[in-house]
Amino acid sequence: MGKTTLVKLLVLRLLERVEPEAVFYFSCDLLSDYEELLEVLREYLRARRPGQPSYVFLDEVTFVREWYRAVKHLIDAGRLRSSVVTVTGSSSLWVERAAETFPGRRGKGRDVLLRPLGFSAYARVHQPDIEAKPGWYGRLDELFESYLATGGFPLPINSRARFGRITPDVYKSYVDWLVYDLKRANRDERLAKALLSALLERAGDRLSYSSLARDLGVSHRTVSEYVDLFSRMHLVLVLNYVDVFKGVKDFRKMVKVHFTDPFLYDVVARWTGAGKPEVSAVVEGVVASHLSRKFEVGYTVVGRREVDVVALPEMAGYEVKYGRRAAQPLSAGKMKKVVVLSKTGAEGATSIPLFLFAL
């Protein structure tokens, strides 16, 4: 959500330097299949000047069944030579899968994943002149508390700004997205709901797929497949154990599963009826998801002490002590330093809002 606005801004910028006929924008949410999309594209291509390079924007293309067949046909027929085709979809899972059907046909094309706003962007949206220096610390703390409620998605942010709360229709929009993707993936909605409920209740804890499978009465493989689907939907972030002496992940160990945005904890809680985890677990997930935008991430255990996030290949450790007493410095193996993050930036620790703002 927010993609359509971005695409229209790109169209406006293009119109400053190319002829209007060279730009074609079409919202695909009312089309049913690739044949209808193919006819729309043919109509545009017939109307443009022969040989004219084009910029084609197909918005919400995942609503169209087998949309990629229309685009691939026109590429193979030479009708899109010297043209740039941009497709967007609310379901990144299906856009990414379809992109795999274009081997050798993408030129210099690339995938762009629009994530929810990180805390730094969120803070600057609300306070453009904000800086990470004395005088702003209190405001950063206030904004972080707000961020924990809305996350980085436009709909809850705008709802809270306009009404002072996140309205029910906003939650429904995201629940509908979950159900839509699950149905398209031919997954059992009840099983998905039960598994997400279990992941929500164990957020921030170490767990095994085998234990989840026993609790749900399904196979280990089924749990693994569903969690992989949730990961490809960018709903959850899976952290594997990191062997700090070898500097690699050990996939035989238990995992930790976080949701990728703080707002998603509320969405899943409302859909499944599960209780929302303690705020400390949500904050740990926020730190992990922010670090995952720049690094490969995992977690580790040194003695009895768990290091919540380990960034690879730097082997930098991060402990999140939100509302808990800050721990003493730690190092082990190739992990020479562990950064302690706390709610207030207590002695020996860095404030979580300041740390996230600097990322």
Q: What is the pLDDT of residues 292-338, one digit of tens each?
A: 999 999 999 998 889 999 999 999 999 998 865 656 668 888 998 89
**Identical fold between 3-99 and 119-358:** no
Give the pLDDT mean for 253-258: 98
Per-residue confidence band for 38, with pLDDT thresholds at 50, 70 and 90? very high
Give the pLDDT mean for 20-28: 93
The pTM for the full model equals: 0.85
DSSP state of 61: G
Q: Taking the domains of the chain in order of start, what are their residue ranges?
A: 3-99, 119-358
**C-beta separation of 155 from 173 below 8 A:** yes
CATH architecture, range 3-99: 3-Layer(aba) Sandwich (3.40)
157-160 long-range contacts, Cβ below 8 Å, gap at least 24?
157/117, 157/122, 157/125
Per-residue confidence band for 119, with pLDDT thresholds at 50, 70 and 90? very high
Tell me the residue type at 324.
R
Structure tokens at 27: 């919202």
Which pairing describes strands 296-302 and 337-342: parallel, antiparallel, or unpaired? unpaired
Give the pLDDT of residue 224: 96
Give the pLDDT of residue 139: 95
Give the pLDDT mean for 103-107: 61
Tell me the residue type at 335.
M
Q: Return the higher-pLDDT residue of 345 and 291.
A: 291
Burial 57-80 (b: 16+ CB within 10 A, else e): bbbbbbbbeebbbbbbebbeeeeb
Give the pLDDT mean for 233-254: 95
Tell me the pLDDT tens digit for each residue of 52-103: 789 999 998 888 888 889 999 999 898 988 889 998 876 666 566 656 666 5
Give the pLDDT mean for 32-54: 90
Give the CATH fold of the 119-358 domain: Arc Repressor Mutant, subunit A (1.10.10)
Tell me the residue type at 205.
D
- Name the one residue in this structure whose structure tokens are 């706003």: 117
Rounded to an integer, what distance in angstroms lies between the CA atom of residue 11 and that of residue 88? Answer: 14
H or E, element range at 350 = strand 350-351
Tell me the residue type at 331.
S
**Region of residue 87 (phi > 0: left; psi between -120 and 50: alpha; otherwise: beta):** beta
- Quote the mean pLDDT of the chain: 90
